[in-house]
Structure 1
Amino acid sequence: MSYQALYRVWRPQRFADLVGQEHVTQTLMNALREGHLSHAYLFNGPRGTGKTTAAKLMAKAVNCTHGPAPEPCNECDACRRITEGAIMDVVEIDAASNRGVDEIRELRDKVKYAPTEVRYKVYIIDEVHMLTTEAFNALLKTLEEPPAHVIFILATTEPHKLPPTIISRCQRFSFRRFSFEQIVNRLKVICESVQIAFDEPALYAIARAADGGMRDALSLLDQALAFGGDRLDERVVLAVTGAVSRDILFQLLQEIAGQNIAAALKVVDECIMGGLEPEKMMQDLTHTCRDLLLFKTAPQLTEIQGSIIGGPGSQLAEKLSVSQLSDMLDQLIHYQQQMKWVAHPKILLEMAIIRLSQPQAAPNGVSSNEIGDLWGRVRHLEQTIENLCQSPPVSQVTTSPAEPETTPMAKGARKRPASGKPTTIRGDWLHQLSAERLEEVKRAWPEVLHRIKEEKITVHAWLIDGEPVGATQDKVIVAFKSKIHRDTTEKEANKTLIQQVLGQVLRRPATLQTLMFAEWNEIRAKTGSDSSAGGNSRARPESREDDVVNKAIELFGKDLVEISKG
C-alpha cells in the first residue's frame, strides 16, 4: 500500500477523538442522539482545525447502519466506504474550482434524486466563500428548503465573505485553534505509536510553528521524520521550519542586554550567512522575548516551561526586567511590521539590534543619572512643602493708625491695586467731579460702546455691565455690578483700548477709573452732596433738577432760559 501522510492516517474517526472542539462535537452528538438534525450546517474556523473531519464524521453518523447515532461505528459497510470516499451519496465539492453558477445549478438538479446507497445525501462544500454571487443566489432556495433526504455541510476559513442570506439558513459552528498543549500531547501520542524517539524541545518547536493548526503540526512532523530518520530532535525541526535555535536567540539577547553591539551583530551575520531569512529571525526573536516576558509574569504556563525553564533561558529571564522586555517587544513588533515594506530586510534587522543594544535614553537626551538627580530634588521639594503645610508660618500684618480698616469692603479694595481705593477716590479727584462732564460722557457712551464692539467684542461684553457715574476733565468713572466684569476691564490691554476709544469720542485724553456700585454708594453716603455733583440718575432730587436745567440750556440756549427758584 502506498504511503499516506500522517494527517490522513491520524484523522479522527470518532467525535470523541476530535479534541479541542468539544463545543462542536458535543452539540452534534446531542443532535444525533435526539434526532434533531438540521438541513444545513456551516463550519468555520482557521485552517487545520477539523472542519472537514467533522463534516465526514457527521456524514458517517447519519448514514451508519446502526444509526443515526452519536458516534459512527466505523465497522459497517456504510462507515467504511464513506471513510474510503467510495459512497456516491456523500459528495465533497471544492468550491474554489467549482465556483460558478453552472456547477451550482447542476448540484441543484441532482439534489432532488433520492440516495441510492445510504440513508442521506450529504453535500460537503469546502471553501464555500469562493462561490460567486450568482452561485450563492442559485443555492439560496435549495439550501433553505432541500428535500428531506439531503444535508448540506458548508466549510470555510473566511465566513465574513459569505452573504448573510446563506449564513441565516445554516446552523453555524465556529472551530477554534488548538492550544499549544493539545498539539504537543497529540504529537507525543503519534510518536509513541510509531515508536519514534523524540526530544520534547522538538515537539515544542513544531507546536510553535503550527500556530494552532493540527494539520500543520502533523505535516511538519511528517517532514521532520522524513529528514531526520528514526530520531526527532530540535535541530531537525529547526532545519525543516527554517527557524532559529533557541540557544542562538538566547545568546543574541544576552549580548543585547549587555549592550555588546559588535557581538550581537556578529551573531546576526552568522545566522543569515547560514541561510536564515531576516524576516524569520525577527519573528523568532519577537516570540522569544514574548516567552521571556510571560515567564517573568506567568511562569506556570506549560508552553513557557517547556522552552524557558533551565539553562540560559532562566538566566536571561533573571537578568532582564519586565519593563525592559516590554520595551524590547514593542520595538521588535514595530520593526517586524516595517520589514514588510523594505527592500533590504537585513539592514532593518541590524538597525533594530543596534537600537535594542543601546541604553534607553530619556527625551531630549537626558541621561538616567540626571533623571535620578531630578527625582531626588523633586522628592526633597515635596518633603519641604509637606513640612510647611504641617506647620505654616504665621504672618503678622500691622495696620497703620493713619489708615484704619473700617469695613471689610475697605480690605477688599486694598487687595486690588488696579481698582482704586475709596480713600484715593475721595482724596485725589472726587472733589473735581463735574455734572457737565458726566452728561457729555453719558451722551457719548453709546458711541464708545459701539466703537469698542467693533474693535474687540469681548471687551464690549465686559464693559457693557458698567455705567458712567462721574467725570472730571481727564477721568471717566465707571461703576460695575459684577466684580468679574470690573476686574477684566481693569486688565492692561482692555483698559488701554477703552481709554483710546474714550479719547477719540470725547476729543481729549481720558483715563478710565473703575469701582463697584457698592463702593460708589458708600462714598456718596459718606461725603453727602459734594460727592454727588457728578452723580447719575440715582442721585438726590437736587441733582435731577440740575439735569433738567442743563438740558433746557442745551436745547434753548443760556440767554433764553431763566432760572427761578420758588
Structure 2
Amino acid sequence: MVLSYRALYRVWRPQTFRDLVGQEHITRTLQNALAEGSFSHAYLFSGPRGTGKTSAAKIMAKAVNCEKGPAPEPCNDCQTCRRITEGSLMDVVEIDAASNRGVDEIRDLRDKVKYAPTEVRYKVYIIDEVHMLTTEAFNALLKTLEEPPGHVIFILATTEPHKLPQTIVSRCQRFAFRRIALPEIVNRLRYICEAQSVKADENALHQIALAADGGMRDALSLLDQVLAFGGRQVDEETVLAVTGSVSRTDLAGILSALAHSDAAAALERADRLIMGGLEPERLLQDLIHACRDLLLMKTAPQLPEVKDRLHDHLWTELAEKWSVSRLSAVMDGLIAYQQQMKWTPHPRIVLELAIVNAAQSQSASDEKEEVVPSDTIRCLEERIRQLEGRLEAIQGQVAVQSSPQTAGFRRHEPPKKASSRTAGASVQQDQWKSLLQQSDTETFRHVKQWWPDILQKVKERKITVHAWLVDGDPVMASKDTVVVAFKNKIHRETTEKETNKSLIEQVMQDVLGRSFRLITVMRQDWDALSDSIAEMSAAAEEGKDADAPQSDDVMQKAVELFGEDLVEVVD
C-alpha cells in the first residue's frame, strides 16, 4: 500500500521566488541577475534552518533551465520545471554533504562536472549542509569551484557558514537568509489553513509561530502535528498540548502575583502547571519571554509585534502593574536561574527559588520613587547652604585684611566647593555633606575589621559578585551606611546592579549584625572630596591666625559642617 499523505511542508514548499516568505532581499537580487543574464557560477546560501535555502536553490535551478527562460521566475508548467520539481532531472543534482562528505565523493563530482548537460542548458549542483565536508574534500572542490565549465552552476547551502574555509567562501556569491518574522509566519499559516479548509484561532497561530522560532518549515511541521492531534480545528489549547508551552492566561496570572509580591499565589499556579506535566525549564523560559513582552509594551508600544500579539486588555492591565526597572531586575534574575537550571539535577527547586526571589525583588529606582524627602531633611539642607555662605564670607574678609608684610600670613584663594562629580551613584553633593556629618569612626573601624569576612561570604554566595566587589575598599561608615570606593568604573557599575547590591547588603547584615546601606563612589572622586575638605580646614586655620575670635567661629562652622573626625586642627 502506498501512502498518499504528504507532509504540509512538502506540499507547500515554495515553487517560485514569490512564494519565499521573508527573504525579499535575496529574491530581488536573484531575479534581477536572471533578468539581465548575469548570474554567477557559484552561490552560497547560509542561514537558520527552515528559512528557504534549499527551496531557493531549486527555484534557481528551474529559472536558469526553464524552457521559457532564463527568466526571473520559472513557469512551473514546462516539462523541465516539472521534472526538477519532482527531482527526476539528472542534470540537476542535489547532494547531501552530511552523508557524502569524503574526498572520494567530491573527486567523483569533479570528474563528472566536465561533461555537458544532456537535457537542459546548465548542470546545477546543489550541495546541502556543505559545512560537513572534510578538509580534503574542500581542497578537492576548490579548483573546480573557482573555474568550473561554463555549463555548471554550484549552489552551496549551510546553516553554519563559519565552518567553511575562506577560500571556498571567497569564490561564491554569498546570500544570508534571515529568520522569518513572526507576523509573516502567522500570515502564511493563516493562508494555508484557509486553503486546507481548516478553522484556526489567531492565538493558536501565534503560539505555533512563536514555537517555530523564525523557521517556516518548523511552523508547518507543528501545524501538521496539531492537525493530527486535534482534527480539522486548530485552537490554542491543542497547540499548547503539542508544544508543551504555557497559556498566556496562566503566565499573566503568575506575573500578576509576582507584581503584588505574592510568592504563595505564584508558586501555587506553577505547582499546578508542573503537576499537569509541564517541564520546569519550559515554564521558566516562557516566564522570561512574557517579561520581555511586558518590557516591550512599556518601552516600545508602537512595535508591530506588540500591536499584533499584546493588544488584549489582560496584558495591558498587567503592564500597568510593573515598572520598567523592576521588570529588568526580574528578567536578570530569571535568566541567571535559567543558566543554573542547566547544571542542576533539581530544576523544580531552581524554578521555585526564581519565583520567590522575583516576588521579593524591588528595583533601586522604585525605592527612590517611594522615598519622599521629609521637611527635616530639607531644613537641614537649607541650613548647610547658609553655613557655607557665611563661611565663604568670613574667608573673604580674612583675605582682604591680611597683607604680604604681615609675618606668618599668606594670601589664599577662597576654598573651592567639591566638584559635583564626587557624588556617588545615588548620592548628590549636598547629601554627601550630610552623610559626612554622620560618619562614625568606631563603626568604620568595625567595618574595616570585618571586611575580609564580608568578601569571603560574598564569594561563597556568588563568585562573580565577589570578583567585582574585591576592587573596592571601604572609606567611610556611619550608623547605617557604608561607603566603598572603586578604582574601576565597570566594577562599580556592576556592583550597583540591584541584584548584586542586595546580595552585598544582606551579607553585611549577616556579618556585622545590623543592616547597612551600600553607597559606591569612584576612588578619584573620593580623593577629590577629601582634598576639598582639607582645603577648607586649612583656610579655617589661617583665619584663626589672622583674627582669633573670627577663627574660632570658622573652626566651629567647619566642625558643624564636616564633623570632628574629619576636621584636624594643627598648631
TM above 0.5, one fold? Answer: yes
| Among candidates 97, 105, 111, match of residue 99 of structure 2 | 97
Indicate if the aligned counterparts of 1:92 and 1:123 stay in contact, CA closer than 8 A.
yes
Which residue of 2 is the match for residue 106 of structure 1?
108
Which residue of 2 is the match for residue 184 of structure 1?
186
The 10-residue stretch of structure 1 (334-343 or 46-55) with the greater mean CA deviation from structure 2: 334-343
2-side partners of 1:404 and 1:27: how far apart? 84
Indicate if the aligned counterparts of 1:249 and 1:288 stay in contact, CA closer than 8 A.
yes
- Trace 1:501-512 onto structure 2 (pairs within 5 A): none
- Trace 1:206-217 onto structure 2 (pairs within 5 A): 206-217=208-219
Deviation at 1:9? 1.1
| Among candidates 108, 120, 137, match of residue 139 of structure 2 | 137
Structure 2 residue 265 is the aligned partner of structure 1 residue 266:
no
Residue aligned with 1:342, SS:
coil
| Among candidates 137, 140, 156, match of residue 158 of structure 2 | 156
2-side partners of 1:392 and 1:300: how far apart? 55
User: Cα gap change, 1:352/1:91 in structure 2, threshold over 3 Å: closer, same or farther?
Assistant: same
User: Cα gap change, 1:186/1:391 in structure 2, threshold over 3 Å: closer, same or farther?
Assistant: farther
Over residues 491-536 of structure 1, what are the superposed CA-to-partner deviations in whole Å (9 max), with x where a residue is unaligned? xxxxxxxxxxxxxxxxxxxxxxxxxxxxxxxxxxxxxxxxxxxxxx
Deviation at 1:397? 9.3
| Among candidates 54, 61, 83, match of residue 52 of structure 1 | 54
Q: Which letter maps to 2:232? A: D
2-side partners of 1:413 and 1:297: how far apart? 57
Which residue of 2 is the match for residue 489 of structure 1?
none
Which residue of 2 is the match for residue 339 of structure 1?
341
2-side partners of 1:66 and 1:26: how far apart? 19
Runs (5+) with no aligned partner, structure 1: 416-566
2-side partners of 1:7 and 1:315: how far apart? 39
Over residues 169-227 of structure 1, what are the superposed CA-to-partner deviations in whole Å (9 max), with x where a residue is unaligned? 11111111111111111111111111111111111111111111111111111111111
2-side partners of 1:67 and 1:118: how far apart? 11
2-side partners of 1:347 and 1:208: how far apart? 27
Q: Which letter maps to 1:179? A: A
User: Cα gap change, 1:171/1:392 in structure 2, threshold over 3 Å: closer, same or farther?
Assistant: same
Structure 2 residue 397 is the aligned partner of structure 1 residue 395:
no
Deviation at 1:2? 1.1
2-side partners of 1:370 and 1:316: how far apart? 20
Which residue of 1 is the match for residue 410 of structure 2?
412
2-side partners of 1:229 and 1:396: how far apart? 90
2-side partners of 1:187 and 1:411: how far apart? 89
Deviation at 1:413? 9.0
Which residue of 2 is the match for residue 348 of structure 1?
350
Deviation at 1:312? 2.5
The 10-residue stretch of structure 1 (384-393 or 84-93) with the greater mean CA deviation from structure 2: 384-393
Deviation at 1:300? 2.5
Over residues 457-484 of structure 1, what are the superposed CA-to-partner deviations in whole Å (9 max), with x where a residue is unaligned? xxxxxxxxxxxxxxxxxxxxxxxxxxxx
1-side partners of 2:232 and 2:50: how far apart? 26
- Trace 1:196-345 onto structure 2 (pairs within 5 A): 196-345=198-347
Deviation at 1:299? 1.9
Residue aligned with 1:412, SS:
coil
2-side partners of 1:89 and 1:413: how far apart? 98
1-side partners of 2:397 and 2:283: how far apart? 79
User: Cα gap change, 1:406/1:231 in structure 2, threshold over 3 Å: closer, same or farther?
Assistant: closer
Q: Percent identity?
A: 65
Residue aligned with 1:78, SS:
helix
Indicate if the aligned counterparts of 1:206 and 1:217 stay in contact, CA closer than 8 A.
yes
Deviation at 1:395? 2.7
1-side partners of 2:329 and 2:188: how far apart? 35
User: Cα gap change, 1:229/1:377 in structure 2, threshold over 3 Å: closer, same or farther?
Assistant: farther
Q: Which letter maps to 1:335? A: Y
Indicate if the aligned counterparts of 2:402 and 2:410 stay in contact, CA closer than 8 A.
no
Indicate if the aligned counterparts of 1:201 and 1:306 stay in contact, CA closer than 8 A.
no
Which residue of 1 is the match for residue 65 of structure 2?
63
User: Cα gap change, 1:397/1:84 in structure 2, threshold over 3 Å: closer, same or farther?
Assistant: closer
Deviation at 1:377? 6.7
Which residue of 1 is the match for residue 83 of structure 2?
81
Residue aligned with 1:122, SS:
strand
User: Cα gap change, 1:2/1:387 in structure 2, threshold over 3 Å: closer, same or farther?
Assistant: farther
Deviation at 1:385? 4.6
Indicate if the aligned counterparts of 1:328 and 1:356 stay in contact, CA closer than 8 A.
yes
User: Cα gap change, 1:370/1:310 in structure 2, threshold over 3 Å: closer, same or farther?
Assistant: closer
The 4+ residue runs of structure 1 with deviation greater than 4 A are: 367-371, 373-393, 396-399, 403-406
2-side partners of 1:103 and 1:373: how far apart? 76
CA RMSD across the alignment: 2.8
Q: Which letter maps to 1:290? A: R
Which residue of 2 is the match for residue 550 of structure 1?
none
Over residues 87-145 of structure 1, what are the superposed CA-to-partner deviations in whole Å (9 max), with x where a residue is unaligned? 01111100000001011111111111111111111000000000000000000011111
The 10-residue stretch of structure 1 (335-344 or 296-305) with the greater mean CA deviation from structure 2: 296-305
Runs (5+) with no aligned partner, structure 2: 414-571
The 10-residue stretch of structure 1 (273-282 or 316-325) with the greater mean CA deviation from structure 2: 316-325
Deviation at 1:302? 3.3
TM-score after normalising by structure 1? 0.68
Q: Which letter maps to 1:326? A: S
Which residue of 2 is the match for residue 29 of structure 1?
31
Over residues 317-353 of structure 1, what are the superposed CA-to-partner deviations in whole Å (9 max), with x where a residue is unaligned? 1111111211111111111122111111111000000
Q: Which letter maps to 2:409? A: K
2-side partners of 1:380 and 1:277: how far apart? 57
1-side partners of 2:56 and 2:369: how far apart? 64
- Trace 1:423-462 onto structure 2 (pairs within 5 A): none
1-side partners of 2:276 and 2:250: how far apart? 12
User: Cα gap change, 1:408/1:311 in structure 2, threshold over 3 Å: closer, same or farther?
Assistant: same
Which residue of 2 is the match for residue 372 of structure 1?
371
Deviation at 1:388? 5.6
Over residues 361-383 of structure 1, what are the superposed CA-to-partner deviations in whole Å (9 max), with x where a residue is unaligned? 879xxx95999377887665554
Indicate if the aligned counterparts of 1:178 and 1:213 stay in contact, CA closer than 8 A.
yes
2-side partners of 1:37 and 1:397: how far apart? 84
The 10-residue stretch of structure 1 (54-63 or 222-231) with the greater mean CA deviation from structure 2: 222-231
For these two proteins, the number of residue pairs brought into alignment is 410
